[in-house]
Amino acid sequence: MEKITAAYRKINLADWKRKEHFSVYRSQMKCSFSLTTKIDIAKMLPFLKENGYKFYPVMIYLITRAVNKHEAFKMAMKEGELIVWDCVNPIYTVLHSETETFSALTALYEEDFKKFMANYNVVEERYADNLHFFPEQPPENHFNISALPWINFDSFNLHIADFTDYFAPSFTIGKYQKQADEILMPIAIQVHHAVCDGIHVAQLIATLEEYCKNIETIIKSQV
């Protein structure tokens, strides 16, 4: 991947409404938290099947679109200062079935669905036979997505030994399952408490639920 200088905005901590919370959870009581919920994708699946779209890249697109709508999920430390990236890109895992290992790839985010899928397809083809953990250096402005398509889980937690000043959120999606009139997909979200609270996770989940429900309108308006 060609190195691209990502744009960002510095946070003025002196005037920031969360400056005390940031200080406590960054230094005094280092803390992350995770939350697992289930999202109804019943309206999404028929649309994907009808149009020949693969589930995983579309879900990556929807999660990335939701993340980029909410400032709390785009924060990082850069040169000793807290910043908000203008845009963040997904690092997502892809399984190599022959070795039962995975690679972490990045497709640069575009709000336009067709452009994002073009980026995704280029990356998929370029690294189809590359078994390295990171076939290319990921961009600074990133967050993480992984998938456990074999398990319908109720809870999932990542245990990161040292997450000091690493504010990029991590999302893990699981095997979806039919329940009454709903098709529920588990999704686990892990964040650093220095930059993100429960209310922010709730807002992001609401956005993602809206996107899954209205996917036909979102995509057909762009292609």
CA dist 204 and 63 (Å) reads 9
Strand, coil or helix: what is 18? coil
Query: Which residues touch 87 (CB under 8 Å, ≥6 apart)?
Result: 6, 7, 68, 74, 109, 141
Backbone dihedral region for residue 165 (phi beyond 0: left; psi -120 to 50: alpha; all else: beta)? left
132 as an active site residue: the answer is: no
CA dist 60 and 212 (Å) reads 12
CA dist 163 and 127 (Å) reads 28
Report the candidate in 194, 213, 222, 210 with the shortest Cα–Cα distance to residue 33. 194
Strand, coil or helix: what is 12? coil
Catalytic residue, from 21, 142, 159, 193: name it: 193
CA dist 35 and 88 (Å) reads 21
CA dist 124 and 214 (Å) reads 27
> How many Cα atoms occupy the beta-carbon half-sphere of 49 within 13 Å?
6
CA angle (139 as vertex; 161, 58 as ends), nearest 5: 95
Active site residues: 193
